């Protein structure tokens, strides 16, 4: 009963804040806005014109093959027999922000001589790639004409092979997948990993700072006069867990509504939202118990931030591997990492949201491993919390903490 009272206090203390209400609305708005902003930037990523100094007389063909809509193409003949003069003049135009870049092409380009690209931003792919592609197509056309091959034949030879994509399920049934779905299966797993990271670490850090603040303000001593350290820690974990659960339940309901309303079921399996909550709850319990133990060892937030470093290093693994795991969910390495409890919530939701989700046996085993890890972690964290929460002064050493785990 006391645990539930602490949990209720923690829950109401956080859900009534403006930050919580803002969080419900803000993250979905940021995610949706980022998609539209990205598309807007792509549409408006153009710049100044680009110039091709055509020493081979391929201007018409280059214009015909040039496909970029973001950069205007200007083809001009060499101003003199000295290419250095064109380079100097056009370089000045780059510095004056009149053009984005220019390409120098001599007559012997047909015979394999290289062209020269000049820009003040050599790392930028566009418009360089579009210009080079147009020049390549124009040169290729001339080479084929010299051999007597008609352009129509060339187009037929180089016509790309059209592909239809089919996903094969566990029942060996093949279902055709459109290009949008195929692309979505590439980035949706990463979105779920980020959401899991934000949810778990957001509230776990709240557990850390809350514990440190209550300890430094001597509130802990008052609370511990009427309940045990384990009851206090458990109540705080349950309360903050319900805060996150509420947050993600609202997001999941909104996400499911949008998926069904827009007919995106073929892109995002609604069941993945359920799996998200299944892994989120134990993931939060695992990390929040660790944070509660770490917070009990600290007297100031500065000390707590130092304690956070090892935890953040551990969390870098699922973040650094999330793209690879999403593309290779059935790889042995991905499977093995999924059964390491600190990685399980992140990697399993990554794999479940991918185009090749794991079977139910792996899901059940991973949940079982996570639950066992939670029992052990909470048990050890409670021992540390019981001693550390009433300890003031210099933080204990790692050896002392191990001794508390053995003796408490």
User: Does 340 sit behind a cis peptide bond, omega within 30 degrees of 0 on the bond before it?
Assistant: no
- Return the CA Rg of the chain: 30
Q: Spell out the per-residue pLDDT of the chain, length 408, in tens.
A: 788 888 888 888 888 887 777 777 777 777 667 666 666 665 655 578 899 998 888 888 898 888 887 788 999 988 876 667 888 889 999 899 889 899 998 888 888 889 999 998 887 788 889 999 999 989 988 888 888 877 777 778 777 788 777 766 666 676 666 666 666 677 778 888 888 888 888 878 888 888 888 777 777 777 777 888 888 888 888 888 888 888 877 877 777 777 677 666 666 777 787 888 889 888 988 998 888 888 888 878 777 778 788 888 888 899 899 889 988 998 999 999 999 999 999 999 999 988 788 889 999 999 999 999 999 988 888 888 877 777 777 777 777 777 777 765
Give the separation between CA 240 and CA 20, rounded to whole angstroms: 12
Query: Who's near 108: CB < 8 A, 6+ residues apart?
Result: 56
List the domain boundaries for the chain. 50-158, 179-407
Mode of pairing for the β-strands spanning 116-119 and 101-105: antiparallel
Half-sphere exposure of 174 (CA within 13 A, CB side): 4
pLDDT of residue 369: 94
Give the separation between CA 305 and CA 282, rounded to whole angstroms: 23
pLDDT of residue 78: 87
* Residue 189 contacts residue 350 (beta carbons within 8 Å): yes
Give the separation between CA 354 and CA 323, rounded to whole angstroms: 10
Q: Which residues pair with 74 in a beta bridge?
A: 51
Half-sphere exposure of 145 (CA within 13 A, CB side): 9
pLDDT of residue 363: 93
pLDDT of residue 233: 85
pLDDT of residue 117: 92
* Residue 175 contacts residue 167 (beta carbons within 8 Å): yes
Both tokens assigned to 268: 């995002």
DSSP 174-202: EEEE-HHHHHHHHHHHHHHHHHHHHHHHH
pLDDT of residue 380: 86
Q: Where are the alpha helices (DSSP H) in 269-397?
A: 270-296, 301-320, 322-327, 332-338, 344-352, 360-388
* Residue 51 contacts residue 74 (beta carbons within 8 Å): yes
DSSP 57-76: S-HHHHHHH---SSS-EEEE
Question: What angle in degrees, to the nearest 10, is found between the helix axes of 128-146 and 151-158?
Answer: 130
Total residue length of the chain: 408
Q: Which residues pair with 52 in a beta bridge?
A: 75, 103
Q: Is CATH 1.25.40 the right assignment for the domain spanning 50-158?
A: no
> What pTM did the predictor assign?
0.70
Q: Which of 270, 242, 243, 247 minimizes the C-alpha distance to 195?
A: 247
């Amino acid at each position: 009963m006391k645990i539930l009272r602490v949990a209720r206090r923690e829950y109401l203390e956080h859900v009534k804040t403006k930050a919580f209400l803002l969080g419900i609305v803000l993250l979905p708005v940021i995610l949706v806005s980022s998609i539209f902003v990205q598309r807007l930037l792509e549409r408006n990523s153009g710049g100044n014109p680009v110039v091709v100094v055509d020493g081979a007389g391929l201007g018409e063909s280059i214009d015909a093959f040039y496909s970029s809509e973001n950069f205007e193409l200007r083809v001009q003949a060499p101003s003199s027999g000295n290419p250095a003069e064109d380079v100097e003049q056009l370089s000045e135009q780059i510095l004056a922000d009149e053009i984005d870049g220019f390409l120098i092409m001599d007559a012997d380009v047909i015979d394999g001589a290289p062209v020269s690209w000049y820009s003040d931003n050599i790392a930028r792919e566009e418009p360089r790639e579009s210009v080079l592609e147009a020049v390549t197509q124009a040169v290729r056309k001339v080479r084929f004409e010299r051999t007597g091959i008609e352009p129509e034949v060339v187009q037929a030879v180089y016509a790309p092979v059209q592909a239809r994509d089919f996903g094969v399920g566990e029942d060996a049934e093949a279902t055709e997948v459109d290009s949008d779905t195929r692309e979505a299966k590439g980035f949706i797993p990463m979105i779920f990993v980020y959401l899991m990271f934000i949810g778990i670490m957001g509230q776990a850090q709240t557990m850390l700072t809350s514990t440190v603040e209550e300890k430094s303000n001597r509130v802990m001593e008052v609370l511990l006069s009427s309940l045990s350290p384990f009851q206090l820690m458990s109540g705080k974990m349950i309360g903050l867990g319900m805060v996150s659960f509420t947050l993600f339940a609202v997001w999941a309901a909104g996400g499911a509504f949008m998926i069904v309303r827009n007919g995106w079921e073929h892109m995002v399996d609604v069941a993945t939202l359920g799996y998200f909550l299944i892994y989120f709850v134990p993931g939060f319990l695992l990390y929040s118990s660790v944070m509660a133990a770490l917070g009990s060892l600290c007297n100031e937030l500065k000390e707590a931030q130092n304690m956070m470093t090892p935890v953040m290093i551990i969390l870098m693994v699922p973040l650094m591997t999330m793209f690879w795991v999403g593309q290779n969910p059935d790889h042995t390495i991905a499977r093995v990492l999924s059964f390491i409890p600190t990685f399980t919530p992140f990697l399993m939701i990554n794999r479940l949201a991918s185009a090749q989700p794991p079977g139910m046996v792996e899901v059940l085993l991973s949940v079982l491993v996570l639950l066992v890890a939670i029992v052990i972690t909470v048990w050890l964290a409670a021992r540390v919390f019981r001693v550390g929460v009433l300890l003031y002064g210099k933080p204990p050493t790692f050896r002392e903490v191990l001794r508390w785990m053995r003796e408490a």
